[in-house]
């Protein structure tokens, strides 16, 4: 017998009494408040004295934030697996990955039969459960080919659509006592969930051995199966000092051998007793964790990551997975994990990283950076995964994915101070600030992440009125290459604070940003579609109108090539930052003259309504190759060259965004975005096999450009660094890089070479 090294978990096992529904829910909430990990409920659908467990699970999931939830155990004969699979995946998605599936082959057959289900012998029950597990996993595997079909004796599935995929790999824990059930647990389950009082110590030893043997025979590791234990006859105030009937020290002393010698790692108390729940969370769990950690350290062991043999086979050879700190073990996704598909790619690039680490707080980011530094593989940092350069994924490297750090807080309404975590999407930010009458202009797409955009510039729909996003950043929290978490602002590490606002990706992992938002209520949002046969003239007119317009007006223009005999088309978005409809009308109406208008609409809407809500599944679907630059004016020559591009058929889209206005009020050296005189940002994008043609066309426009906004550029030519950061900006950045990241750990996205000791400029 041995310790399987699992992280310890503690929870409650509650009675879903129909007579006290509020009390059951309150005990579940207390389970969370007491710091426990898991709440579970009995499931007796044939008993009218109990609430329906599934309904209760859903209710409790909605009333809690952190707690895992499970039946203990669900009665399979009354919960047909094909439906159960969908219900489980749905609840897992709704609860953001907090559902686990405790399952039993069936008991209380009289009640089960009374509800119309078939009575099974113990042997049949095991066979039916085996079929059910295959159906559950088959439904959850939505990437598998074709519909799910299974010739089952108990649960035939002639053909059903797969999905939905759960939010995380749902554990299946079996309530098992008999040898065949124990063998099934070893072969197929993720956990064994018996009740202590039903098993004597020698029975536990035998049961664990049977599970282990069956696991090994099935090509699995015994560690893949978590051992959980329900505890009923327990107390903290009892004086008789029987087993688990005494104070905390006694619990620790008696539970310790169950962990270290018998491998149990999850303890669920089956008493509806608030005081016991509280004591378990606040005293017993921390004390046992400490004692176990001490013993494990003494034996050189720690809670390890448990991976199936199949998953282990998919690990990348270049990465030392065992060196990953235990704090990150549960935060990481590897190629063999079910969640891998959803985290490997970004919006514009497919990737196959060896490991994606998803920290929950800054301390975990510190651990992630420290670990990544020890590995000789690429390191990418990702927030929203919308980076156009696609460098927030990689092949064979580590990705630090900040998507779980996504809080949006209004710190002080009076000073309009807001705090954003990098994993938040701008659509979420707009929604969260709207009730306060505040906004922060970001861009045109709500799925873009805070981390990537607010560390480079942020050219948004309110740019001419309110400037760039970075112009409103007042402080940042950042984990630097040496593993320090720094708060930087005008007074603390002001050099780094300057660099973060324009070149942030080069200096560390930003874990939070504080910004001063501004008052924005409704805005006027208009869209025009125009025939762009004469693209050059349209571009020229649009450019002039934008420059002549009041600052309230910001405009983005997208140009698409003609298709199937249709002429090229221009889509123009115009945003008037204010609710003065008359003033908006007079600012917008000149744009009706840019060319033949095919469609038009204008509305007065809240700013939050014009930033599309997030929710994209990233599959590398965006255009991979972009070229970008900045223009002072849309001159006739530049307009001709851009028109050529769109008429060539080699460019799939051209976009121009107005900057200027308030963007140019900021001094060139105030931030690491020095482009404060240009009025337009230009981007052209195409598919990989047209890249040479794009480059040729772009080379002609290049002479008319002055600088580039790196968030729109996918070129990896180091020469582009000087376009993004013309001197003296680049020299200053190189000197700061030498201070904070001399080994160039953050070297994926427009990597700035650290200055050499001889001097800052190469």
Ligand X SMILES: Cc1cc2nc3c(=O)[nH]c(=O)nc-3n(C[C@H](O)[C@H](O)[C@H](O)COP(=O)(O)OP(=O)(O)OC[C@H]3O[C@@H](n4cnc5c(N)ncnc54)[C@H](O)[C@@H]3O)c2cc1C
Contacts with ligand X by CB under 6 A lie at 346-347, 380-388, 391-392, 402, 422, 443-445, 448-449, 451-453, 455-460, 504-505, 509-510, 622, 711, 748-749
Q: By C-beta, is 191 or 446 nearer to ligand X?
A: 446
> What's the CA gap between 699 and 168, in Å, rounded?
47
Q: How far is the CB of 500 from ligand X (least distance, A)?
A: 8
Q: Which is nearer to ligand X, 505 or 540 (CB)?
A: 505
DSSP 160-226: E---PPPSS---EEE---SHHHHHHHHHH-SEE--BGGG--HHHHHHHHHHHHHHHHHTT--GGGSE
Q: Which is nearer to ligand X, 385 or 595 (CB)?
A: 385
- Listed in sequence order, the residues at least 6 apart from 463 whose beta carbon sits closer than 8 Å to its beta carbon are 441, 554, 657, 658, 659, 660, 661, 662, 663
In angstroms, give the least distance from the CB of 636 to ligand X: 26
Residue whose CB is less far from ligand X, 388 or 475:
388
Q: Which residues lie below 8 Å from residue 551, measured CB to CB, with a gap of 6+?
A: 464, 465, 577, 661, 662
Between 72 and 626, whose beta carbon lies closer to ligand X? 626
The phi-psi region of residue 619 (left if phi > 0; otherwise alpha if psi is between -120 and 50; otherwise beta) is: alpha
> Which residue, 656 or 705, has its beta carbon nearer to ligand X?
656
Residue with tokens 């069936």: 106
List CB contacts of 480: < 8 A, sequence separation 6 or more: 486, 496, 507, 508, 740, 741
Contact 358, 331 (CB under 8 A): yes
Angle at 349 between CA 682 and CA 443, to 5 degrees: 40
Closer residue to ligand X in complex, CB, 265/394? 394
Helix (H, G, I), strand (E, B) or coil at 142: coil
CB of 749 to ligand X, least distance (A): 3
> Collapsing DSSP states into helix, strand and coil, what is residue 392?
coil
Q: Rounded to the nearest whole angstrom, what is the least distance from the CB of residue 711 to ligand X in the complex?
A: 4
Sheet strands (E) in 498-642? 509-516, 518-519, 522-531, 553-560, 569-576, 597-606, 625-631
Least separation in angstroms between residue 115's CB and ligand X is 50
Can you point out the beta strands (E) in 355-503? 355-357, 379-382, 398-401, 408-412, 417-420, 438-439, 473-479, 485-488
* Shortest distance (Å) from residue 423 CB to ligand X: 8
Closest approach of Cβ 427 to ligand X, in Å?
11
Burial 237-272 (b: 16+ CB within 10 A, else e): eeeeeeebbbebebbbebbeebbbebbbbbbbbbbb
Q: Would you say 166 or 385 has its CB closer to ligand X? A: 385
Is the CB of 137 or the CB of 331 nearer to ligand X? 331
268 forms beta bridges with 11, 230
Tell the smallest beta-carbon distance from residue 511 to ligand X (Å): 7
Q: Which is nearer to ligand X, 190 or 332 (CB)?
A: 332
Instruction: Compute the half-sphere exposure of residue 512: CA atoms within 13 Å on the CB side of its CA.
Output: 20
Judged by beta carbon, residue 354 or residue 388, the one nearer ligand X is 388
Give 505 or 568: the residue with its C-beta nearer to ligand X.
Answer: 505
Least distance CB 739 / ligand X (angstroms)? 17
Smaller CB distance to ligand X: residue 385 or 540? Answer: 385
Does residue 164 have a cis peptide bond before it, meaning omega lies within 30 degrees of 0? yes
Q: How far is the CB of 383 from ligand X (least distance, A)?
A: 3
Q: Which residue's CB is nearer to ligand X, number 228 or number 685?
A: 685
Q: Cβ of residue 689: shortest distance to ligand X, in angstroms?
A: 20
Residue nearest to ligand X (CB): 452
* CA of residue 595 relative to chain centroid, distance: 43
Separation of alpha carbons 192 and 173, rounded Å: 5
Which two tokens mark 272? 């509806």
Q: CB count, 10 Å around CB of 131? A: 20
Between 76 and 424, name the residue whose CB sits nearer to ligand X.
424
- Tell the smallest beta-carbon distance from residue 400 to ligand X (Å): 8
Q: Give the nearest distance from C-beta 647 to ligand X in angstroms.
A: 24
Token couple for 411: 């710190």
Least distance from C-beta 497 to ligand X, angstroms? Answer: 13
Report the distance separating Cα 632 and Cα 636, nearest Å.
12
CB of 402 to ligand X, least distance (A): 5
Residue 539 and residue 587 in contact, taking contact as beta carbons nearer than 8 Å: no
- Shortest distance (Å) from residue 401 CB to ligand X: 8
CA distance 706 to 681: 10
- Nearer residue to ligand X within complex by CB, 207 or 454: 454
Nearest-10 Cα torsion for 82, 83, 87, 90: 60
Start-to-end CA distance of the chain, whole Å, equals 62
DSSP 281: I
């Amino acid at each position: 017998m041995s310790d399987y090294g699992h992280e310890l978990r503690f929870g409650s096992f509650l009675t879903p009494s129909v007579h006290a529904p509020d009390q059951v829910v309150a005990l579940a909430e207390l389970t969370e408040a007491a710091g426990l990990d898991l709440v579970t409920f009995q499931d007796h659908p044939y008993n009218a004295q109990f609430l329906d467990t599934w309904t209760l699970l859903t209710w409790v999931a909605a009333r809690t934030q952190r707690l895992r939830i499970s039946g203990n155990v669900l009665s399979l004969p009354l919960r047909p697996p094909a439906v159960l699979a969908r219900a489980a995946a749905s609840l897992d998605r709704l609860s953001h990955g907090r559902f686990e599936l405790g399952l039993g082959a069936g008991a209380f057959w009289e009640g089960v039969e009374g509800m119309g289900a078939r009575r099974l012998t113990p042997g049949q029950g095991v066979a039916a459960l085996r079929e059910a597990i295959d159906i559950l996993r088959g439904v959850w595997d939505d990437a598998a080919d074709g519909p799910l079909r299974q010739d089952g004796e108990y649960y035939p599935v002639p053909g059903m659509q797969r999905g939905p995929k759960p939010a995380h790999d749902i554990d299946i824990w079996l309530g098992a006592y008999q040898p065949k059930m124990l063998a099934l647990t070893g072969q197929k389950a993720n956990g064994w969930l018996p009740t202590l009082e039903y098993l004597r110590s020698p029975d536990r030893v035998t049961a664990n051995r049977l599970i282990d043997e069956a696991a090994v025979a099935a090509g699995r590791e015994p560690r893949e199966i978590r051992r959980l234990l329900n505890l009923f006859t327990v107390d903290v105030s009892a004086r008789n000092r029987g087993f688990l009937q005494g104070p905390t020290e006694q619990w620790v002393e008696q539970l310790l051998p169950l962990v270290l010698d018998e491998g149990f790692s999850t303890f669920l108390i089956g008493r509806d007793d608030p005081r016991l729940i509280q004591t378990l969370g606040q005293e017993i769990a921390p004390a046992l964790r400490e004692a176990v950690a001490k013993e494990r350290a003494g034996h050189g062991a720690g809670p390890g990551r448990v991976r199936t043999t199949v998953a282990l086979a998919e690990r990348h050879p270049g990465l030392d997975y065992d060196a990953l700190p235990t704090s990150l073990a549960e935060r990481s996704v590897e190629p063999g994990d079910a969640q891998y598909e959803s985290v490997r790619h970004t919006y514009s690039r497919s990737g196959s990283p060896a490991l994606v680490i998803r920290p929950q707080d800054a301390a975990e980011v510190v651990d992630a950076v420290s670990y990544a530094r020890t590995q000789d593989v690429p390191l990418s940092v990702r927030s929203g995964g919308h980076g156009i350069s696609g460098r927030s994924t990689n092949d064979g490297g580590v990705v630090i994915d900040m998507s779980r750090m996504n809080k949006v807080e209004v710190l002080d309404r009076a000073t309009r101070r807001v705090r954003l975590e990098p994993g938040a999407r701008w659509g979420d930010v707009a929604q969260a600030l709207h009730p306060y009458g505040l906004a922060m202009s970001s861009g045109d797409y709500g799925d873009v992440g805070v981390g990537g955009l607010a560390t480079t510039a942020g050219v948004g729909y309110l740019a001419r009125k309110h400037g760039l996003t970075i112009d409103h950043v007042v402080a940042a929290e950042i984990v630097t290459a040496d593993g320090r978490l720094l708060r930087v602002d005008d007074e603390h590490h002001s050099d780094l604070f300057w660099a973060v606002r324009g070149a942030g990706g080069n200096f560390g992992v930003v874990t939070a940003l504080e910004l001063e938002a501004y008052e924005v209520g409704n805005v006027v949002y208009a869209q025009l579609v125009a025939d762009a046969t004469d693209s050059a003239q349209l571009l020229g007119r649009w450019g002039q109108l934008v420059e002549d317009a009041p600052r309230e007006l910001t405009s983005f223009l997208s140009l698409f090539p003609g298709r199937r005999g249709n002429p090229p088309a221009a889509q123009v978005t115009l945003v008037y930052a204010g609710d003065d409809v008359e003033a908006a009308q007079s600012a917008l109406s000149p744009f009706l003259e840019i060319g033949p208008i095919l469609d038009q609409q204008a509305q007065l809407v809240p700013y939050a309504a014009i930033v599309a809500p997030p929710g994209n599944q990233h599959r590398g679907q965006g255009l991979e190759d972009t070229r970008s630059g900045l223009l002072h004016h849309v001159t006739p020559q530049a307009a001709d060259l851009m028109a050529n591009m769109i008429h060539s058929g080699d460019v799939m889209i051209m976009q121009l965004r107005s900057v200027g206005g308030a963007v140019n009020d900021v001094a060139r050296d105030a931030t690491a975005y020095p482009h404060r005189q240009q009025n337009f940002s230009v981007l052209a994008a195409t598919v990989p096999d047209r890249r040479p043609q794009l480059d040729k066309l772009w080379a002609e426009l290049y002479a008319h450009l002055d600088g580039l906004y790196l968030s729109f550029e996918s070129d990896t030519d180091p020469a582009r660094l000087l376009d993004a950061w013309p001197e003296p900006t680049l020299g200053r950045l190189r000197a700061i890089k030498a201070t904070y990241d001399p080994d160039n750990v953050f070297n994926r996205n427009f990597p700035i070479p650290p200055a050499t000791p001889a001097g800052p400029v190469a």
